[in-house]
Structure 1
């Protein structure tokens, strides 16, 4: 993490580190990151304090077209350098606010998490809830699907898939984990070691503490990278970074990732 605390810290960092772009991110109602970017020279302390406007009616489940104006207010403590963009980009996670009243937006998932933490403290049951989700995922080499007037299908494939033991791979070297025997094998059966290690190191680079990474039980590319537990809002931010880093690192390797719990039969 960059350990930025105030709007001044952010502006000073932008100048000192020659940041070219500032990217503002927030979670939509279904739980996906959305973003927009501005030239770094347009960002000053006032920008961070007052926020930036956007069209809330274009975000699923949020605002009607006749009341679409909303604000993103960046959180300096959340700042990190994006590890994938071609131009040096500072990312800040944002809260969503009403531009007229200045109040937090009730459908902003981050606001809901903040309120839940505050409510827990007010009850006296506990002061800090810790969460440690195990966000397992599958790494696929090919994903195709369609649903049209005359056909419907989906097709998932992995070079590790048990179903590929007889495929002509010029040559096929074997090393396909059998069903429910993918837990902890070393390479060459585990073909994803270097990919997962790059994911792990990139996650730590953007401020997500990692405990370990390993191949998971299933054939077909199941993997796990364990995050260290954290308070609710912090973990929610980390989980979004986690998915972002894992999907983009996989894309660099020509692969794709899904966090679906059971994309394959068996």
Structure 2
């Protein structure tokens, strides 16, 4: 894996050495869609000096046309050469921080939202918030439908896994882009895949998630296929999740670990998990942000919907992987409800704020639920005080609209725009007449 550049001089040297002709400046809109414009490599000095101006009025969630001037300030540490572009007169990319013409961070920039959350953790004495998400996706024959390429299942290989070659190429490309790959395999659903990136600090990992999604799509397209991170594209099959592992570090040590605790969890770790559980319902529209996300979050398809934690039980929202002696630094929590179509910057920011809230306010962690929560009756769950995630985007967004935590996470500008956009999405969906309704009701009513 190549060494990552650290300064603008490093970037300029690499551009000269590899004869890079174009540099794409990447950033995301409020929904986590990757946006980009390209500059000639000769403009690099100007870009580093004062940023590159662009019109933000057509970017979802950005300012209206009368105050739409934006500046993209490239982050030299994110420079990478794009492996799917020609080597001759090649193309590289850098992520950007979006600024106003006054050179202040733009409040509608998701990267800025995550930086603010990390600043809060730093102010509380934590130097690193590590995140390790597992993004699943499907490969389909083309973008016009959901025809699968194989009937393989979990960890299947050879003839049952039509995507093994493209998965290998994708993994190698990610390594070239400075992303360490730990695992790759066929997932549970037909034509479903997963490539696991090694954990990193939250900002790098959010950038890596954006890079991962476009890399997966580019290499699928090379084979004439279509890759999708849609949470639930196939009826009666598992959806695609983004199980998200998290830990905090203080003074170089894992702040979640306590050798004397029966669960090997420190008070900090317990309070962090308690914060995520307490705020899970109001954060749901951030980590599961699409109408389709709630087709995945139903009992029976591996996606957890019950707000509880466990050590072994994968039906709980939060799992704490078992401690192995000598692996103290690996102590972490795993949140199993996010999906890979979320905006990773906003998701990691919201989850971090929820955990820090638990630490600041001393939230108590309830006892773990080691039984299969899907097998409990509604009465049993009520008696145990186990809540459920929202069942629709409509329900989720109204919970978010009342959330002080999300307001503080996003800031007023982005909060209001996000609520507005998601309410409109739900309204657009709610008035549709689906084929299911026609098939079920038209003959008999």
TM-score tier by shorter-chain length is 0.7 to 0.9
- Contact between 1:142 and 1:158, CA under 8 Å: does it hold in 2? no
Counterpart of 1:81 in structure 2 is 81
CA distance in 2, matches of 1:27, 1:135: 18
- Contact between 1:74 and 1:94, CA under 8 Å: does it hold in 2? yes
Counterpart of 1:150 in structure 2 is none
- Establish whether residue 248 from structure 1 lines up as the match of residue 253 from structure 2: no
1:184-263 → structure 2 map (5 Å cutoff): 184-219=155-190, 221-263=191-233
1:157 to 147, 150, 153: 147
- Contact between 1:2 and 1:79, CA under 8 Å: does it hold in 2? no
Post-superposition Cα deviations, 1:45-72, rounded to whole Å, max 9, x if no partner, equal: x421310000011111111111111100
- Contact between 1:2 and 1:80, CA under 8 Å: does it hold in 2? no
Counterpart of 1:18 in structure 2 is 19
CA distance in 1, matches of 2:117, 2:214: 25
- TM-superposed CA distance for 1:196, in Å, is 0.7
Structure having the higher helix fraction is: 2
CA distance in 2, matches of 1:189, 1:261: 22
CA distance in 2, matches of 1:91, 1:143: 26
CA distance in 2, matches of 1:2, 1:108: 27
Q: Which consecutive segments of 4 or more residues in structure 1 shift more than 6 A?
A: none
Structure having the higher strand fraction is: 1
Q: Aligned to 1:208, what secondary structure does the other structure show? A: coil
Q: Aligned to 1:115, what secondary structure does the other structure show? A: helix
CA distance in 2, matches of 1:143, 1:33: 18
RMSD: 1.4
- TM-superposed CA distance for 1:260, in Å, is 1.8
- Contact between 1:132 and 1:228, CA under 8 Å: does it hold in 2? yes
- TM-superposed CA distance for 1:198, in Å, is 0.7
Post-superposition Cα deviations, 1:217-251, rounded to whole Å, max 9, x if no partner, equal: 112x0001011111110100000010010000000
Gaps of 5+ in 1: 145-154, 161-175
Counterpart of 1:165 in structure 2 is none
- TM-superposed CA distance for 1:2, in Å, is 4.6
Counterpart of 1:97 in structure 2 is 99
Q: TM-score, normalised by structure 2?
A: 0.51
Q: Aligned to 2:213, what secondary structure does the other structure show? A: helix
1:59-208 → structure 2 map (5 Å cutoff): 59-86=59-86, 87-100=89-102, 102-124=103-125, 126-144=126-144, 155-160=145-150, 176-177=151-152, 182-208=153-179
- Contact between 1:7 and 1:49, CA under 8 Å: does it hold in 2? no
